[in-house]
């Protein structure tokens, strides 16, 4: 029997840059939490409004929301001792960050996830 033993939620907010003299990047706006409530809320919401598929990366399907300027993905990863990690990603974009690559953000988040899972599996 397997169980969801870990829930990881990533949220990235691409900031609206108000002061060009002090630029900020999405890397300063990564939120990570392990809330089951947020994870289940996202799964429920996205199941009903799945948006449209934009690209695949490392086994993750990334979709763009139809109702907001956001991208999302979710997946599960099997870990030792018959456990699973449920992971959700949500990336908010704005007009001031059009040159920001959603693929680059996802690569960064997946690398972080891989590091976290390696710590669990070791």
Is the pLDDT higher at 115 or at 120? Answer: 115
List alpha helices for 3-101, DSSP H.
36-48
Tell me the pTM.
Answer: 0.87
**Residues in CB range of 6: below 8 A, 6 or more apart:** 34, 79, 83, 84, 85, 86, 120
Range of the domain at 113: 3-121
The pLDDT score that the predictor gives to residue 118 is: 92
The pLDDT score that the predictor gives to residue 22 is: 72
Q: Catalogue the E-assigned strands of 14-59.
A: 30-33, 52-57
Which tens digits make up the pLDDT trace of 13-71?
Answer: 887 667 777 777 788 889 999 999 999 998 888 776 678 999 999 999 999 988 888 99
Overall number of domains in the chain? 1
Which tens digits make up the pLDDT trace of 57-105?
Answer: 999 999 998 888 899 999 998 888 888 999 999 999 877 766 788 999 9
Say which DSSP state 76 is in.
Answer: E
């Amino acid at each position: 029997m397997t169980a969801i033993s870990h829930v990881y939620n990533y949220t990235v907010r691409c900031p609206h840059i108000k002061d060009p003299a002090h630029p900020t990047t999405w890397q300063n706006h990564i939120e990570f939490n392990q809330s089951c409530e947020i994870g289940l809320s996202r799964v429920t919401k996205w199941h009903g409004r799945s948006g449209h598929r934009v690209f695949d990366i490392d086994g993750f399907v990334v979709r763009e929301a139809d109702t907001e300027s956001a991208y999302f993905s979710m997946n599960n990863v099997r870990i030792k001792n018959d456990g699973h990690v449920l992971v959700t990603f949500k990336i908010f974009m704005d007009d001031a960050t059009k040159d920001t690559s959603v693929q680059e953000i996802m690569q960064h988040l997946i690398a972080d996830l891989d590091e976290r899972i390696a710590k669990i599996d070791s």
